[in-house]
Amino acid sequence: MFFGKETSSYELNPDKMPKHIAIIMDGNGRWATKRSLPRKAGHKAGAEALEKIIYAAKDMGLEHLTVYAFSTENWKRSEEEVGAIMDLLRMYLKNYFKKFLKDNVRMDVIGDITRLDKDIQESILEIEEISKEKTGLFVHIALNYGGRDELRRAVGKIAEDVAAGKLAPADVTEDVITNALDTAGTPDPELMIRTSGEERISNFLLWQVAYSEFYFSEVLWPDFDKKELEKAIYYYQNRERRFGGRLK
Residues annotated as catalytic are: 26, 74
Neighbour order of strands in the sheet with 106-110 = 106-110, 138-145, 64-71, 20-24, 191-194, 213-216
- DSSP sequence for 106-125: EEEEES-GGGS-HHHHHHHH
Closest CA to 122 of 134, 110, 132, 113: 113
Helices of type H across 35-137: 39-60, 79-91, 97-102, 118-131
C-alpha pair distances (Å), 143 with each of 9, 26, 75, 109, 127: 34, 14, 11, 7, 14
| 190 close to 236: Cβ distance less than 8 angstroms | yes
Q: Tell me, what DSSP letter sits at residue 189?
A: P
| 140 close to 108: Cβ distance less than 8 angstroms | yes
Separation CA 147–CA 145 (nearest Å): 7
- The set of residues, in sequence order, having a beta carbon less than 8 Å from that of 92 and lying 6+ positions away, is 47
Q: Tell me, what DSSP letter sits at residue 54?
A: H
For the chain, the maximum distance between any two Cα atoms, rounded to a whole number of angstroms, is: 59
